[in-house]
Chain A
Amino acid sequence: MLKITNLHASVEGNSILKGINLEVKAGETHAIMGPNGSGKSTLVQVLAGHEDYEVDKGEVSYLGKDLLELDVNERACEGLFLAFQYPVELPGVNNTYFLKSALNAQRKYRGEPEIDAMEFMDLISDKIKLLNLKDSLLKRPVNEGFSGGEKKRNEIFQMAILKPKLALLDETDSGLDIDALRIVAGGVNAMKSKNNATIIVTHYQRLLNYIVPDFVHVLVDGKIINSGDKTLALELEEKGYDKIIMESKA
């Protein structure tokens, strides 16, 4: 589904990613862990197409297409979804209306008819229960006045409606209490299928207790220095990043 080859990227001239290689197949869940400043967020932003991030070298192939050639909204329409670490507020823009616009933009891109209002409301009421969100949030402007936890749950709610093929979760666990974490993880797990894949970016292992990854990668200074199964995350938690870095250098 996704193949990243020797990816180098920089922000304002500072080289951040220094040769990432990663392959993600449909049905897989990958976790990328690493200390602050290792390039985790840069990686997901480059994949999503943020224009502040410059790709210096390398290739990214996604569903047989050159991902780096696509505009941000085209990538989204091709099924790439980013759950933001800091979801953006859109004052005055109704949450439901926003989501319907997004879904219809994606359907239009795929040559499908627009969803009608009734169908959409059914879809919404189904998914809102899954994320345990208050109905009132649907009528409010996007993310405006939402609590930190509500924002994160709203991201996963959007994901549940848009049904991406590849979901990137950027520090989705940060700022969540244990109950919210369970709900968010439950939402992500409910969407898991053999046709889609998930990349989770996180500092901590605790999210991975709820969303169990097939692969864990350790990202340090713009490179993946170690890959393994879910036990690698536990090892990281136990030993700390420094030790793993030392070991991998040895």
Chain B
Amino acid sequence: MKQESETEMLKEYAEQEYKYGFVTDIESETLPPGLNEEVIQFISKKKGEPQWLTDWRLKAYKLWLKMEEPHWANVKYPKIDYQAISYYSAPKNMKDGPKSLDEVDPELIETYNKLGIPLEEQEILAGVAVDAVFDSMSVATTFKDRLAKKGVIFCSISDAVKEHPELIKKYMGSVVPPTDNFFAALNSAVFTDGSFCYIPPGTRCPMELSTYFRINEPNTGQFERTLIVAEKGSYVSYLEGCTAPKRDENQLHAAVVELVALDDAEIKYSTVQNWYPGDKNGKGGIYNFVTKRGACRGNSSKITWTQVETGSAITWKYPSCILQGDNSKGEFYSVALSALKQQADTGTKMIHIGKNTKSTIISKGISAQNGQNTYRGQVMIKKSATGARNYSQCDSLLIGDQCGAHTFPYLDVKNKKSHIEHEASTSKIGEDQIYYCKQRGISEEDAINLIVNGFCKEVFKELPMEFAVEAQRLLEVSLEGSVG
């Protein structure tokens, strides 16, 4: 028999390059590396911010100076030199901001095309409004008019600061305060842009809102900030998808996402993350230290986080829900893949405060090659949360024998009239499963995709249709290096 051995297959696929590894040649205006008060003032001035925001940033910066980088996560990486990072970069010829796609740098459009996300097509076909962030500055915002008719605000954070300062003042930092953690403080000090979304009372947002993030400048940390506010009885589904060009030096990404759901409001936040994971030796790749949190402030409000995490060298991410309102619901659906030398420490926190609050956690961790995948989740039932319920399910799938899966569920229950269920499983893709598929004519690679997709099905079905397809494709691309 001339069968390729597992290791040969593995080697062959592992040598395939990251498909989205290219650098767009656009003149950028970039600050030299380093962080101090002047840098923060520069950013604030550059963006034409009011004094209160400059002060807010400076306050966060001072807090950050006193904080220490957290090291409790199950990840290892070289020490980050925060003075070696440049904190501002914007595409130069975009200063005034384009009025339509025609005004957008063609090379930028080409970049999106390479990623398979042509904006024009999305406008026409998908009916998705796109607030595309290229490095730190918004370059194209679409469908604004249609959204405006419904009273929906969907714009960059920078614009929102100018046009809706009362909303920003009221809500920014109200879910993730600068004091929250080291990376949140850093983000608060230096955030450059991001999205703002406001759904007025009783309004169902007429389309899925979507933002594509992309990191492009060498050594530029990305500090995005997203704020979504859903007023009473409103509904919004928000999609966030990312790819990044190939790069040798590690890039720091410390975003903050805040969601606020008032009475009877519902927010669905879906992420497909495919940042450069580094090469097979663990060189390069994005450090993804993100703070995502949603507050179900109103009664019967609901927040759903769905994430498909296939990229980044290091992932440190715990999209959480504070279930404050009575009868509010929090959901977390996650697929996290660690291949190559990727390390992911991800999970969620469900904090039950209101009565009869419910939370669901479905986590699917996939480890391949030398990847290390950790689920870390906390379910906290406060004394006030009578009738609270949680269901957690954490499954791990191992591909090959050089990878690892770890599960750290934390429970903190202060109310006896609450109910918690936890299920966990770890399985390995069996040789016999692959053999069975191959005997029916399916290639080894497709067999693994089939089995992995089966494993992730419960999460994929939570994603909006077009995103589910993309997520599946991303998983396939990411697994190309891990057959065996």
Instruction: Give the interface of A toward B (CB within 8 A).
Output: 48-51, 53-55, 68-69, 71-73, 75-77, 81-82, 84, 87-94, 97-99, 101-103, 105-106, 109, 141, 158, 162
Contact = CB atoms under 8 A, between A and B. Distances in A.
Interface stretch (B86-94, B433-441, B475-483): B433-441
Contacts of B1: 49, 51, 53-55, 68
Contact of A92 (B431, B435, B457): B457
Contacts of B438: 49, 71-73, 76
B441 A77 contact: yes
B436 A106 contact: no
A115 B437 CA distance: 19
Nearest to A70: B2
Given A69-B2, A109-B441, A91 B436 contact: no
Given A73-B439, A98-B450, 6 more contacts: A51-B435, A72-B439, A73-B438, A73-B444, A88-B430, A90-B450
Nearest to A83: B439
Nearest to A141: B454
A90 to B, nearest CB: 6
B160 interface: no
Interface string B279-312: 0000000000000000000000000000000000
Contact of B446 (A49, A81, A82, A101): A101
B402 interface: no
A88 B433 contact: yes
Contact of A72 (B435, B453, B455): B435
A207 to B, nearest CB: 21
Interface of B: 1-4, 427, 430-433, 435-444, 446, 450-451, 453-458
Contacts of A98: 437, 440, 450
A91 B458 CA distance: 12
A165 to B, nearest CB: 13
Contacts of B435: 50-51, 72, 88
A102 B438 CA distance: 9
Contacts, number: 92
Contacts of B433: 88-90
Given A90-B451, A92-B453, A92-B454, A105 B441 contact: yes
A87 B433 CA distance: 9
Contact of A90 (B431, B437, B456): B437
A90 B454 contact: yes
Contact of B436 (A81, A90, A92, A141): A90
Contacts of B442: 73, 101-102, 105
A53 B4 CA distance: 14
B441 A162 contact: yes
Given A105-B446, A141-B454, A76 B3 contact: no
A81 B210 CA distance: 46
Nearest to B447: A73
7 contacts: A73-B438, A90-B437, A92-B458, A103-B441, A105-B443, A105-B446, A162-B440
Q: Chain B CB within 10 Å — which of A54, A77, A91, A162 has the most? A: A91
A89 B455 CA distance: 12
A69 B446 CA distance: 21
Contacts of A91: 427, 454-455
Contacts of B430: 88
